[in-house]
Amino acid sequence: MLYRHSNALLSLALAAAVTAAQTGTSKSLRGFEGDSVLDSQQSYVAVFEITATGGTSPTVDASVETSWDGTSWHTVASMTQMTAAGTKNTQKAITEALGPYVRCKLTPGGTAAPSTYGTIRLVSNAPYALS
């Protein structure tokens, strides 16, 4: 399946690398009325493009979460934990229902956390908007 539509949930440049947990801004998610894809056929994938440098026994966890009320959050996709410095590019299909809000989390850890940067994207086979 071709995923043409993409939005960044979190984007950290090398110059903005972090060593502490980051929670992306909560964003409203909505599909487009009148497109050729039924809501029941619209699918989403979380794309994790994460780089970690330095640290001692470094780890990095990343996830995409959804909420129906903007308060209670549920994980719908998680990247397999990084357990060494390097780069991880992976995709995880979101098979659970998405609520009207989405956000992501990035958590570097270890004895000394690595400098972590990269992008977490939400991609879809149909148009959608984040605001």
Residues spanned by the domain of 9: 5-130
Q: Which residues contact 72 (CB under 8 A, 6 or more apart)?
A: none
DSSP state, 100?
Answer: S
CATH number at residue 90: 2.60.120
* pLDDT, tens digit (0-9, with 9 covering 90-100), for 71-90: 999 999 999 999 999 999 99
Mean pLDDT of the region 23-39: 84
DSSP state, 39?
Answer: G
Number of domains in the chain: 1
CA-CA distances (angstroms) from residue 94 to 55, 64, 82, 109, 130? 31, 9, 20, 25, 17
pLDDT at position 36 over 90: no
